[in-house]
Amino acid sequence: MTAATPFRLKPVFSERVWGKPNLKPWYEETGTPELVGEAWLTGPQCVVETGALAGRRLGDVAEEFPEEVLAPGELAEFPLLVKMLFPEAKLSVQVHPDDAQAQAIGLHRGKTECWYVLEAEAGAKVALGLKEGTTLEAVAAAVKDGSMELLMSWLPVAVGDMVFVDAGTVHAIGPGVVLLETQQTCDVTYRLFDYGRPRELHLEQGLAVTKLHTAAGKVDPIKMDGFTRLIDTKYFVVDRFEVAAGTAVSLTDVAGVSGCVVCLQGAGMVLSSEGAVELSSGTAVVVPAVASEVHVKAEAALTFFRCFEPRHA
């Protein structure tokens, strides 16, 4: 058995107090009556739906077949966690550790992330960083007296915006948006403030990793040959493709990396020399690093995103 052929993953729906009772039109069913806030598309627990590896979890596949699925030299773990976020209420104010801070507590990597805005109601905002002059002491005091929101820099967002959130950035997401999030595979979140909801806070740990000045902010898209590059960092690259029905695009410009293709509208096929797999809306297809001559063919007008970890020197 090998893992050289692209394979599709089944999304995992995560319950959240700030989530929605249904995720239509993105998903018809979530399999739970609870509020769902996240659809994990490339989580370690996501199950392979296609091919010889069907029924196995992505985490297990990456561990068993690292030389095929992952770029050379990578840890035996798929490095990117791609999600869709569906907030109906405000998310907590939170912060994540960087690589060095995460490794100091025994983790593989930190949690730098980015958000691509798929839906946005009028007036939708995200909080990105602290206002100029804010101190850690002021943050601690604001958490206690309930005024934390006043210390945050709130940023209006619209459909098509890409927002970079590097580790150490205090951040929050408001309601009225649907986001495609690409992040380093790390699920450590330090919750600083939660609007009075009865959930655990992690003030000491969060303040220890908070950076008062970060590179977080909106990123301008770059038109490339046949696609749009939405963001390009040392942690991840995200590209958006629009493909007309009956046509195909080549992905051979990026090879030998750890990555996936995420379909958000339409239908098509991911084709390679090793095999083919159907690309359906709301799902991710992992493209193994050893896959060759990779193309995507649109059966109906297709919008998909390519997310991959760039080669490291």
Give the model confidence (pLDDT) of 26-62 as tens digits.
999 999 999 999 999 999 999 999 999 999 999 999 9
CA dihedral defined by 286, 287, 289, 295, rounded to 10 degrees?
-170
pLDDT score of 234 more than 80:
yes
* Structure-token match 């809306």, residue found: 281
What mean pLDDT, rounded, does the chain reach?
96
Report the distance separating Cα 30 and Cα 33, nearest Å.
8
Q: Summarize pLDDT for 127-138 with one digit per residue, the tens.
A: 999 999 999 999
**Residue 104: burial class (beta carbons within 10 Å; 0-12, 13-18, 19+):** exposed
Write the DSSP string, 102-148. Answer: HHHTT-S----EEEEEEEE-TT-EEEEEEPTT--HHHHHHHHHHT-G
Task: Provide the b/e sequence for 63-84 (b: ≥16 CB within 10 Å).
Answer: bebbebbbbeebeebbbbbbbb
Task: Provide the b/e sequence for 187-206 (b: ≥16 CB within 10 Å).
Answer: ebebbbbbeeeeeebbeebb
Task: Name all domains of the chain by residue range, CATH numbers in brackets.
Answer: 7-219 (2.60.120.10), 222-309 (2.60.120.10)
pTM here? 0.96
pLDDT score of 176 more than 70:
yes
DSSP-based three-state secondary structure for 209: helix
Contacts of 256 (CB under 8 A, 6+ apart): 71, 72, 289, 290, 311
Confidence (pLDDT) at 313: 57
Rounded average pLDDT over 53-80: 95
Structure tokens at 295: 């193309």
pLDDT score of 94 more than 90:
yes
Contacts of 126 (CB under 8 A, 6+ apart): 115, 154, 155, 157, 163, 171, 172, 173, 174, 177
Query: Looking at per-residue confidence, does 255 or 6 come out higher?
Result: 6
pLDDT score of 77 more than 90:
yes
Confidence (pLDDT) at 91: 95
β 152-156/125-130 pair status: antiparallel
Q: 88: pLDDT confidence band, cut at 50, 70 and 90?
A: very high
Confidence (pLDDT) at 311: 84
Rounded average pLDDT over 202-207: 97
Nearest to 218 by CA among 131, 115, 289, 292: 115
Rounded average pLDDT over 233-246: 97
Rounded average pLDDT over 106-111: 94
Rounded average pLDDT over 152-159: 97
Rounded average pLDDT over 280-295: 96
Report the distance separating Cα 208 and Cα 268, nearest Å.
46
Confidence (pLDDT) at 174: 95
pLDDT score of 1 more than 60:
no
Report the distance separating Cα 183 and Cα 204, nearest Å.
24
Q: Summarize pLDDT for 293-302 with one digit per residue, the tens.
A: 999 999 999 9
DSSP-based three-state secondary structure for 299: strand
Structure tokens at 46: 């996501």
Amino acid at 253: D
pLDDT score of 150 more than 80:
yes
Backbone angles phi, psi at 246, to 5 degrees: 85, 0
Confidence (pLDDT) at 312: 72
Question: Residues 301, 281, 64, 187: is their CA dihedral positive or negative?
Answer: positive
